[in-house]
Structure 1
Amino acid sequence: MLASSCSMMGAWGTATEDGTPLLAFRALDWNTDGPFKDFPQVTVYHPTPGSGNGHAFMNVGWVGWIGSITGMSSMDMAICEIGVSFPDDTFGQESRLGIPFTYILRDILQFDVTIDDSISRIVNADRTCDLILGVGDGKLNEFRSVQYSHSVARFFDDKNLLPLNETWHPRIPDTVYHGMDWLCPGYSVVLANQIKEHHGGINADI
């Protein structure tokens, strides 16, 4: 199992500049001494229409990488993820038996049309390790983060975002975000402060 550490955010409505439609980001917070930085690759797939192989999507990864941890599709769907090294008891159990999460995320990009499709896919999947997933739907202007493990799949928007901590992970209107991990005050508070500072003016440049 590989659970990569990162940060993510989805912002829309009152959080964005002039009510810009959904903006989402995923930062790959990995060790820069490793080999990954030397072999980046953006791959765009164009399945033949009517072939049953889904629709066009872009996969951001590395040479030889066929799973997905970051990407978007022609259906205005986007995915991201964060590995969880510091969970709490609400995550339940992990398992090494199941569908690798990178293939579930790729299937979301390749086959799903709406965020409801993705929610159904995640709920019904044979899940494995502790993660936080992110799924955005630009058509519906919606973003969900997912508390994900073998035994748990919980979906969060800006109204029910967890973990809830008013000091380092407060709920912010029209925003879903996670900094580096589930229980990670040092990173989460920095991200929260930046979101609050720019709330109402978040754009692609910021």
Structure 2
Amino acid sequence: MSSIHLSLFCLFAVIYPVHLLDPSCTGNYNTNPIIRDEPTFVSSVPNGKRFVVGTDYTKINIVHVYGGTPYDMGYALGSLMSKELNILIPEYFAYLDKTIEDELKKLPPFVAKWIAELGIPGALDLNYEITRIYTPPWFDEEIRGIAAGSGVSYQNIRRLNLIPELIKAACTVLGAWGESTLTSALLHVRSLDWDDQAPLANYAIVTIYHPNASYEGYADHFHEFYKQENYKSHAFANIGYLGMIGSIGGYSEASIGLGEKVWITKEQDITTRFGNPWTYVLRDVLQFSHSIDSALTMFTNAHRTCSIHLGLGSYERNVSAMNDENIGFRGIEYSANELNIYNWEDMFDTPHHPRLKNVVYWDKHVQPSDDPCLGSLLVKGYGQLSPEIIIQNITSVAETGNAINFVLDYGENAAYVAYSAPDDPQGPLEAYKRAHIRLDMAKLFSEPAPK
């Protein structure tokens, strides 16, 4: 995302500093060790548990919610994070009020007009009114639960969740597997370039949803919104910000992963504001899809809105050998009227974006990119890619992922996550420069419900 907003949303060692080979790479190595601590229990409520991992300004809240119903999960989240939500919501909207004037020129003209005429709350309320008939009911129910559990107003939680629909992010998407990686397993990078100084970063959270079979009561709604009969809910993780229940990036128990970046296109007629907000569609795909094909079917049938790039990963575990048949990654151009699907063979091949076998990527710039940095780093690191290599020598050198940076290792079933730290007096500010925390996703998905 751009300075405050989602503008919309939306190698162990290389022998010598690869960024010196290309003057467009201006970053430095991230030499921080990976933090491998186990999460520490904090508290529990009916249908929820809270843990923390890391210390001080690297701390991430790990919140498990169990359902029940969407309302139950929302109520648990609101109860566990009540103090933080009551501080964050007024703090964040006050921050937006102070910074929005400088941001208006960076936003789509009609969004800037909405905000200028209606103010930020009014623009978000308008966006709600034109999207609500396209949005599955479980989102509104969960937001009502968060509000009831925390005491924060329903309207403000709802508004917070539509910020990504108004204003987008310049991010990096990368999927690499097979010959390109050290272990052949799928690696998936979601680097969020947004406002790294926003107070949202002070409340870093990974929310683990454990929905139960009662979600089957929503089967008719699922078919209505996605025109798909194959209905099954999985545990999944949202790697994002407190109070935002849609997905800006995440990973599921079915080993489906998603990340996003803005798709800047001159084809204005391919987008609309009348549909299901993209963060909600991504969340539903994480929760309900079980393969590349089922995810793509949901994307095809969704009431899509804005133009974004997506990275969609899938990994089948119960097979004897890993190959292109059971490791999947697709780059997607997603908008109201277009859905374009790419594998590595379909990616464009330019001097600054070389086509690489088993690698799908978009850097943080307008596509096709004229910036050679990321492509040159991937060429240099080809065959050696691992989470540590990517964190140390790629995202940091390319300076991408200033707000949130995470790498999913589907083979390890692990996520490596860092957030920006605007209040850290020792710095650094940007997520890609900071220590990353390794999360064992298999353990998180198997965490038992509170008794």
Q: TM-score normalized by structure 1? A: 0.90
Is 1:54 the counterpart of 2:233? The answer is: yes
Superposed CA offset, 1:117-150 (max 9, x none): 1111111111111110111001121100111111
Superposed CA offset, 1:2-22 (max 9, x none): 322210100011111142x11
Instruction: Report the counterpart of residue 198 of structure 1 in structure 2.
Output: 381
Instruction: Report the counterpart of residue 118 of structure 1 in structure 2.
Output: 295
Matches within 5 A, 1:106-145: 106-139=283-316, 140-145=326-331
Q: 1:182 to 1:121 in 2, by over 3 A?
A: farther
> Aligned AA for 2:252?
S
Q: CA deviation at 1:94?
A: 1.0
What secondary structure, in the 3-state scheme, does the structure 1 residue paired with 2:388 have?
A: coil
Instruction: Report the counterpart of residue 17 of structure 1 in structure 2.
Output: 182
* Consecutive unaligned residues in structure 1, runs of 5 or more: none
Q: Which moved more, 1:112-121 or 1:29-38?
A: 29-38
2:336 maps to which of 136, 150, 153: 150
> Aligned AA for 1:131?
I
Q: CA deviation at 1:178?
A: 0.5
CA contact under 8 A between 1:3 and 1:129: conserved in structure 2? no
In 2, Cα distance between equivalents of 1:2 and 1:109? 22
The percent identity for this pair of structures is: 32
In 2, Cα distance between equivalents of 1:18 and 1:45? 29
In 2, Cα distance between equivalents of 1:51 and 1:33? 37
> Aligned AA for 1:177?
Y
What secondary structure, in the 3-state scheme, does the structure 2 residue paired with 1:205 have?
A: helix
Instruction: Report the counterpart of residue 36 of structure 1 in structure 2.
Output: 200
In 1, Cα distance between equivalents of 2:293 and 2:279? 19
Q: 1:151 to 1:127 in 2, by over 3 A?
A: same
Q: CA deviation at 1:34?
A: 2.3
**Greater helix share, structure number:** 2
Greater CA radius of gyration, 1 or 2? 2
* Consecutive unaligned residues in structure 2, runs of 5 or more: 1-165, 217-231, 317-325, 390-451
> Aligned AA for 2:249?
T
CA contact under 8 A between 1:3 and 1:130: conserved in structure 2? no
Superposed CA offset, 1:91-138 (max 9, x none): 852101001010110011101000101111111111111110111001
Q: TM-score normalized by structure 2? A: 0.42
**Greater strand share, structure number:** 1
Instruction: Report the counterpart of residue 150 of structure 2 in structure 1.
Output: none
> Aligned AA for 2:247?
S
